[in-house]
Each structure stands twice: as structure tokens, then as C-alpha cells.
Amino acid sequence: MNILKRVLLKKINLKGVATHNIWLKIISLLIAIVVWIYVSGEITKGVRI
Amino acid sequence: MDLIIRFLNWKTISEIIILWAVIYQIFLFLQGTKAAYLLRGIIILLISFLVFQKLGLFVLSWLFTKLFAFFVILMLITLQPELREGLIRLGRGHIFYMEPKKEEIENAIREIVAASGAMARKRIGALIAIRRELSLKNVIESGVTLQADLSGELLQNIFYPSAPLHDGGVVVEGTRLIASACLFPLSENPQLERTLGMRHRAGVGLSENSDALVVIVSEETGSISLAINGQLTRNLSPNDLLTILKGQLTKTA
């Protein structure tokens, strides 16, 4: 059974997928943003030099 | 302003999403292992490094840069078992594993309690470990893998005297019975009663070495005990066991 069919048949709880490990997801997102800003800042600095 | 404009770029958003997915997977990969504590340490070190750089503390930044490579190698050696387990999990495609719902956990608890009650009445010894956060990989590897849906009948069948898998303990994760005939570490706590048999010592031992809950049914007395964090609560009725297990396992579900 493919994922779409399982979602339609409510075999996958989308709300559950979104809220499961919510803090881990938020922290990961924050770290991803910080890493991106830091790396892009470093790259830009390198280009200017 | 320049930064915000760059943020609105689709390339940036996709880069952040990919980064987020990778970081989230690393967290999941380490969750439930002792490596999670180490990861917290690494994050603190990285934040300190960034702060040192921003403040212009160059000597400390230089030291961090030099020590970081050494630290990564040390981490790879120390966490070799955890990394191996994580890679196996990746290979098995369990990345998108979803935790069971609260109702499913409650059903599993009822099955365990019903089986424990029935075995206590029949004076059949049983040792059931219920995993919480920390992995019980080493214990599981010492037994026979089952990966079966948990049911009271299956538990009773396993512990039936003279059944091939009745020696040792079983490991339950969520609604699954993962393994049976597992060897649990024995407790060396001198304060434990001398009358306690090996089954009780094994149950307490596992609860000392992990955060698992261990249900023990005595063969001699037909009493039900529960070991949590090295503490043994004895002579529980099935109703008491149900209340405690529900309280311990469904509060975060």
C-alpha cells in the first residue's frame, strides 16, 4: 500500500507525524538555520576577500 | 535586509530544509543511546566556539579548532557500537518509524498485566522488560529475536515451563515483543533481600543499567514485582501493576 493511499485511508495520522518529536524537530530546524547563516556568512566573507 | 532577501530565495529554503532533515535524522539516530548525552556536549562546545569567535577570543578559538578534529576521532571510536546500530537501523529502513499511539500502548500494558496476573495465579515465573528511552540492544542481542505483536497469550506461551524460550527475559518495545530468552545483567546491590532469586536480581539489574521497567513474576510465591531504576516494588496486584505501568508509560505518549 503506498503512502498516499495510507494517508487517504487515515492509516497514517498526519497530525501525529507533525507533532511527534516536536521539540527535536524545532531544535533541528533552529540548528539548521544557525548553521546556514554561519556558513553563508563565511562564504560571503571569502568571496569579498 | 540583505539576509532576509537571501532567505526568501527558493535555493536557500531548500538548503535549510535539507540541512534540517539531516540534523533531525542525526538526532533520531542518536536518540535512545548513550551517545545522545555526548551530542549535547558537542553542541555546547560548538556554541562556545562560535561565541569565542564572535568575541574575538582567538587563542581559545584556535585551541578549539585543533582539539575538535581529535575530539571527532575520539567520538568515532567511543561510539562505535551506537554508530553500528544506527547504520543497521538506516539499512533496515526504520528511519520513519512512528511511535505507537497512546491507546495502543495502553492495550499493550493491559496484555502484559493480564499475562502477569494469569502467570502469577499459575505460579509460572516471568521476566518482562519494557523499554523506555535507552536502547536495550545488548540485552536483545543476547536472546532470540521475535519481532512479534505483543499479546498476553504469546507471553504466557513463552514463559510456559519447558517451552524452549522460557529461560531468561523478554524485551517489549511499544506494542512489539522484540526478543525472548534474553540475559539480563544481575544486580550486585547488597541491600537486596537474600531470599530473592536470580529472576528478581536480573530484573533489578536491568533496571539499574537502563531506564527500562521490568515486571517480575515469581515462580515460588506467585507474586508480581516491578523494578524501576534499581528499586523493587513487591507483591503488586494486577490492578496496582496496571496503574503504575500506565503512569510510567503513557505520561509522555
pLDDT in tens, B23-50: 888 877 776 666 666 777 777 777 887 7
* Of B3, B16, B24, Cβ closest to residue A25: B24
Q: Which residue of B has its CA nearest to A23?
A: B24
- What is the ipTM metric for this complex? 0.73
Helix (H) or strand (E) holding A30: helix A22-48
Interface test with A, best of B4, B51, B98 (most A CBs within 10 A): B98
Instruction: Count CB atoms within 10 A of the CB of residue B112.
Output: 27
Interface test with B, best of A14, A31, A33 (most B CBs within 10 A): A31
- B118-164: pLDDT as tens digits: 999 999 999 999 998 777 888 898 899 988 999 999 999 999 988 88
* Of A12, A13, A32, Cβ closest to residue B23: A32
pTM for this entry:
0.58
Quickly list H helices, chain B: 2-7, 10-30, 35-55, 58-78, 80-92, 102-121, 137-141, 152-159, 198-209, 238-249
CA pair distance B113, B130, nearest whole angstrom: 12
- Classify residue B32 as left (phi > 0), alpha (psi -120 to 50) or beta: left
Helix (H, G, I), strand (E, B) or coil at B227: strand
* Of B6, B27, B99, Cβ closest to residue A20: B99
A36 interfacial to chain B (CB closer than 8 Å): yes
Q: Which residues contact B234 (CB under 8 A, 6 or more apart)?
A: B223, B225
Counted residue by residue, chain B has a size of 253
